[in-house]
Every structure is written in structure tokens, then in C-alpha cells.
Chain A
Amino acid sequence: MHPIIGKSKLSPNVTRLVVEAPRIAQIRQAGQFVIVRAAEGAERLPLTIADADAGAGTITLIIQAVGKSTEDLVALEPGEAIRDVVGPLGQATDLLEHGRAVCVGGGVGTAVMLPLVQGLSRNGVRVTSIIGGRSREWVILEEELSRYGEVITCTDDGSYGRPGFVTQALADVITDGPIDVVYAVGPVPMMRAVAEMTRPSAIPTVVSLNPIMIDGTGMCGGCRVSVGGKTLYACVDGPEFNAHEVDFGLLSDRLSPYRDFEKAALEKRHCQLGPQIAEVSAAATAPVGAAR
């Protein structure tokens, strides 16, 4: 069992859980993920390790509640525990050693970005973070990211920071001067747009993918993605890949087979719980991106 040590809400449907997992906290590297199972009978959910404190023996998980399983998970309170946490899984990020990096985060993808920004900053890389949300309340981790470098915050409705999409801000940063690498994590359309933007100037671009998976060790083959015409497994070969080689159409498609099932499960959960979760329910209709 993995007790929950801390919990806070970052946006209407994004929750931060600090969870006891000493072994993983000690050895995890930026870019790696865990698979959690909230309780007996629950689904196995892959989640990026957003942060870790080896001394305290805790890891931080940032969860977008978009379905029954994620809602069950964020319904856990400090003092309760997550039944299973396994990891760290996946390859660690190949972090730039020096130079200039731009990290683009959309929605809960910003959480995946945080350890990258931390690692890059530790390497002495100059990092610009570009993060976005629909409106001010959907912007997450701005303060945390600002500790490691410049942050450009965008909102679709202009209610905060720079009006417009993160890709528009990226376009401006690209024209400002040379960039060694771009990391992009967020909804599939956002990652695809970033890839298209950096392709003409051949700026190395890395995306972190989170397709549907079960075991996280290469056993199920459910997380197969097409990269450079080759079928690879996000769980063991990734989760990070060269954005210019990823088949985003296939990725998007393979995220969707259980949509009807998920919708039904969510409705059933809400019927059982009653009206108090109406707020989360409204938020759950937000576009699903890096977290399924």
C-alpha cells in the first residue's frame, strides 16, 4: 500500500497527489512513469512521475480526472492509500547537456514537463517553458516552473498571460534565436502542431506519449506507436520519441477505442455518487490529451 501524504488541486480537474513510494523516489529519472492501481479491482493507470523526494520517500503524481478510474484515484484523501504502484517504467529522458531548450506543455502535459525542466536546469541549460490552458484556472505549475527559467503562459480566452495557443508563443520564441531542442507534452493535436512548427527548421523535437497500456513492460503490446515507420512500444522504447517521426494520427486513433465504455462508466459513477461531483463532471468533458 502507498499512503497519500499530500493532495492539492491545481485546476478544476487536475489534482496533485504526493504518494509514499520510497524505492521509486530513490531511483526514478526524469521522463519515467509509474503504473498505479487505486484499489483492488481498479484499472491500471500509467502516470508520469512529476516529481520525487528521495529523502521523504515520496513521488508526486499529477492526475487529470477524465474518467471513472482517474476520478476514483483523485477521490483518495491523505491518510488513504493507493493499492499498487509499480515502476519506474520507461526510458529516462535524454536530457540536453548544455545550450537552449524550449519546453511546451499543454494541460496536464505540463506535469510531465516539470521533471524535464528541472533536469535541464540542473544541467545548466537555458530553459523557456511555454504552458497553456483554456483560461486562467486551467493553467498549472506556473510558479514551480518559474523557479527554473522563463515561463510564457498562454490562455485560449486571453483571461491570463498571453492570449492564444502555446504554438503561437513557440513560433515567436523560434524567431527570437537558435534553439537546441524542443520538448512538447500535451494533447495530441498540440504535440502534432509543435512537430509541424519545428519541422521546417529541423529543430530536434521530443514528445512524450501516453497511449493505452496495461503492464508497462512490453508484454501487452497495446501501447504500440508508429515512429519513423516502425512499430515501437511507448512503455519500453519510450515514452519519449522524435516528434518528427511520430504518426500522430495513429496515436490519436489508438487512444479512442474505449471512449463509449469510459463514458458509460463515468455516467454510472456519477449516478451513484449524486450531484456533488457535478463540478468534476463538467471538467471531465475537457479535451483528453496526454492522460487518457
Chain B
Amino acid sequence: MTPLEIDPNIARRYREPGAGVFDPALGSRNRWGGIRFLKTPSAALATAILAFGILTAIVGPILRPGDPLRITGEPLIQPFVDWAHPLGTDVLGRDLFSGVLFGARVSLLVGLSVAFISLVVGVLIGAIAGYAGGWIDWVVTRGIEIFQTIPGFVLLVVLVSVLEPSATTVIIGLALISWDAVARLTRAEVINHRSREYVLAAETSGVSGPRILFGEILPNIAPTLIVTASIIVASAILAESALSFLGLGDPNAASWGSMIGSGREQIRSYWFPTVIPGAFIVVTVFALNVLGDALNDFLNPRSNG
């Protein structure tokens, strides 16, 4: 700590009243916040669903070892009939239960990786642009605008068809179309906070720019970013499913979208190869959206009205 650095507690005193910023150091909310959050029924439900999803993704390979794309039974066994295939089989005789378990891993891996990459990249770029201002901000903003004017899904389709379709390609492609929203949001929030008194106080005390940015401003805009992250996870899972549905995902990995894609042709006669993975997508994305809303309500008092 440099001798000139201001005590954060002093800086806090300069904060505008009711600014609605998240304060990790505020004891009461921090200690009991988690439990209070879970007392909201929708938040509890969403958290439970997602926890269950993560759990199945982890224990899936133990329950159903081996490649889920292996042909293990007769084609199109109905669900809940044969306990060797509790959710039935698809047109080639692949086990749907193994498929959705493995699909949960793919979806969560893609969703979380994309959210992580776009957060890191988006926050870094947006924060620098917002804090530095001037020509750096101008250049970065134009760059973000270029990405925002390109239709995201079209860019994604082009990317994965030009490159080899694999989980890595899909994650990179999705991160490429997701980071711009994070960057824009971060930039706007940083500009908003940049002129607040706690930042001015820190500046007058001689705290270095990077320290103010990453040590002071970022923790205060974290709630917005956390909410955004949950939305990115949800939309990444949807986009990955859409890609796999179109046959542009990794053909060597089961995924919810590719299961729907291969079951689609039989949908008039056999509902389950499409409906089962479809239900998993709906529930997961729904849970993520509810969680995002609940987090927003919880972390941002102003939106409580």
C-alpha cells in the first residue's frame, strides 16, 4: 500500500446516497445475503434446477459411462418402457438418457466458458475505454459498433462452417459475438462511476488509475455484470443448441441441439427424440433467466421500486 492511498472506508463515505451500488464489504447483507436470496421462491427454484444440472453434468459419466453416441439398442424405444434405456432411444438406437446427460455437460461447458471469456475480454476492453476516454474510447467504441452491427448468429454460422466444427470453435465463435455487449455495458457503467465522488476522492489521494479502475470501480459495477453473465450463459446454451440443430456443432459429441436435429425428421411419428432434449433446454434456459432476474432484484435495490 502506498502511503498516499486513501482508506476505502473514507472513500465510501463520499458515495451518493441511494446510488444502489453493490458493496462487498457491507457486513449485514454479505453475511446473510445468500440465505435471504434463496428465500425468494423463484430464485430458490432456479438455483435448485441449476445445481441439479451441474450435478448431473458431473455425475453423468459415472451413471452412463462410455460414448453417448454409441448404438446400444433397438431404434426408437419409447421412454419409461425399457429400464436399460429409461428415456428411450433415437432412430439409430442411441440411448437418449446418456445423450441428455452428456448434453448437459456440453451445454454447461459452452455456456460457462463463453460467459467467462466474454466477461474477461468485454470487461477489460470496456473498462479501459470507459476509464481512459479520449481517442482510446473512440477507437474501442467504433470497434464494438462493428461487432454490434454484424448479425451475431450469422457470423457464428460462417465461423463454424469455415473452421472445423468442434466445441472449441463453438465457444470461441460464441464468445466473439457475446463480448461486445459486455464491453459496451462495462464502458457505460465505468463512465457513470468515473465522475462519482468516491472515485474523485481516490484520485485526489493519488491512487493509481488501474487500481481505481479494478480495485474501486469494478467491484461496484459487479452486480450488473453478474446479471449479464447469467443472460450470456443462457443465450450461449441456446445458440449452441441452434448451431448443433443445424448440424454445425461437433458431430462427435452429443448435444441437446444435435439430438433435436437428428430427431426432427421423425417428429410426426415419434415425439420423444425431440421433446426430451428440448425440455432440458427449456428448463435450463428458463432457470438461468429467472436466476438473472432474481439476482438483479437482489443486487440492485433501485429496481425493487
Judge: A and B partners, yes or no. Answer: no
Q: Which residues of B contact A (CB under 8 A)?
A: none
